[in-house]
Structure formats: C-alpha cells, structure tokens
Amino acid sequence: MKPSGPQLLIGIHAVSSALKSSAGDVRWLRIVDDNKNRRLREIESRAHGSGIDVIRTTKAELDRLSGQQRHQGVVAGFSGGNVAAEGQLEAILDGVEGIPLILVLDGMQDPHNLGACLRTADAAGVHLVIICKDRSAGITPVVRRAASGAAETLQVILATNLARVLRILKKRGIWLAGTSDAATDSLYLTDLTGPLALVMGSEGSGLRRLTGELCDYLVNIPMAGQVENLNVSVATGVCLFEINRQRQTA
C-alpha cells in the first residue's frame, strides 16, 4: 500500500539532500533490498540514525510507488517546511542575511525547467524562490528530482497573487529586474549589485503584461548567433551568475 500524506522524494540525490538538511521532515523511507549498493546503504544508515521508518522492499514496489519514475532504489515521504504560503513572505524577508537575491518565476509550466531553475538558484546562493501557485508546475516529485536536492533546501513561496508579492518586494527596497527578448538594456551593462529580484517569464510567452509593468527595468541577454533566445532555465543560470559576478567585483 502506498503511504499517504507527504510528498514523494524519488532518487538518491533528492533523498540524500533531505536527510542531510531536513531529516526531521522525512517521514518514511522505502529502499530496495540490495546490500551491495554502497550509496543506498549509506542512506539507509542515515535514516535509521534519524529515527525514520525504513522498510526494505522490491524494485517492483518502488516502481509502483514512484509511478515508474527512475528511483535508483529509494523513495521517501517528505513534508518539509521550506515551501511556504504567500502570507509568510514578510517574515522570510526579515530573516534574509546580506543583500537579498530573489528569483521570481512567472508561470513556468515545464517541471524539468522548474527543477533546473531551483538547482541553479541553490548554486547561485539565492535566498528565496517565488513561483505562482496556480500558474506553475508546482513542487512535484518530477521537479524535486530535476532539482537534485535543491527543492528540499531552498526557501520557496507559492504566490496566489504574484502582483501583490512583487509590490511587497518593491516596498521592501528590493528592485525588480525582468528579462525580455524585447528589452533594450543588456544584462551585462545593467547594475545588478543591490537588493534584487530576478523575474523570469514562462517558456512560451515570457513575462505577463502586469508582471513586466511592475518590474523596475527589463534586460536582455545579448545573443551572438542565429538562435533568438535561450531555454528559460539556461537563461536563469546566465542571469544569476552575472549578478554574482557583479557583486563579487563591485
């Protein structure tokens, strides 16, 4: 019988990350009965040490639990508190140390793109990721797997009203930098060293009109070849690490 309640963590990266950073939020662990796999036995040992309910099972049962996703021999139930509602935004901002760097994803539909953005955001030191509650892929098992552990460690807010959230950020002195192929200002020639929220649009249509209007400025990534634009997760990485480069050299 499939355990109910927590979201699923599927695969070694996602489960290992959760056990390291938020073991108290891992409710149960189902792991393939294979004593030869060192990584799985390390996960099992860490889970036992944290008092987590661990059951050895078959690959067929894990296939069923994971919905035939590539589970690498381990599935866990996770109820982490890193995914918050919009009402917690002010409290989360109060806890940010240093110059805020926030990633806002306006309607990203592809779970693999969302997962890749979370992974990049974690690597770039983003303090908070904001996604639309009703216009996004959501933090699903597929997203968690694509994020390779970042979905269990990053602070995420699900915004029911993105425009309201953006206005709160502006009131807190955080500048909104949107990305657009039609923008005339280059990413590389724009000062991105202050408190900043990078706002990325959806895969197909980019930023919605109101989202773009709320941004303090719009920037583009100069393209040297024939391709007109980048995949949104790649563009997110380019932008975040340019922000980091500017901050390190400022």
- The answer, yes or no, to whether residue 107 has pLDDT greater than 90, is no
pLDDT at 1: 38
pLDDT at 142: 84
Domain around 133: 83-249
In a domain, 118, yes or no: yes
Domain boundary among 54, 78, 102: 78
94 vs 89, 99, 194, CA distance in Å?
A: 9, 12, 17
Average pLDDT, the chain: 91
pLDDT at 13: 86
Q: pLDDT band at residue 141, thresholds of 50, 70 and 90?
A: confident
In a domain, 152, yes or no: yes
Q: Residue 71 contacts by C-beta under 8 Å, 6 or more apart in sequence? A: 10, 11, 62, 63, 65
Number of domains observed in the structure of the chain: 2
pLDDT at 5: 55
Q: pLDDT band at residue 219, thresholds of 50, 70 and 90?
A: very high
- Asked whether 7 and 28 are in contact (CB, 8 A), the reply is no
Q: Are residues 107 and 230 in the same domain?
A: yes
| Average pLDDT value for residue range 120-147 | 90
Residue scoring higher pLDDT (122 or 14) = 122
Q: Are residues 72 and 103 in the same domain?
A: no
Q: Are residues 202 and 99 in the same domain?
A: yes
- The answer, yes or no, to whether residue 152 has pLDDT greater than 90, is no
- Asked whether 174 and 99 are in contact (CB, 8 A), the reply is no
The enclosing domain of 49 has a CATH number of 3.30.1330.30
| Average pLDDT value for residue range 142-154 | 87
Q: Are residues 121 and 69 in the same domain?
A: no
> For every residue of 193-240, which 3-state class applies, written as one string?
CCCEEEEECECCCECCHHHHHHCCEEEECCCCCCCCCCCHHHHHHHHH
| Average pLDDT value for residue range 66-84 | 88
C-alpha–C-alpha distance, residues 193 and 205, integer Å? 28
Q: Residue 155 contacts by C-beta under 8 Å, 6 or more apart in sequence? A: 82, 84, 92, 127, 128, 129
Q: Are residues 72 and 87 in the same domain?
A: no
Q: pLDDT band at residue 3, thresholds of 50, 70 and 90?
A: very low
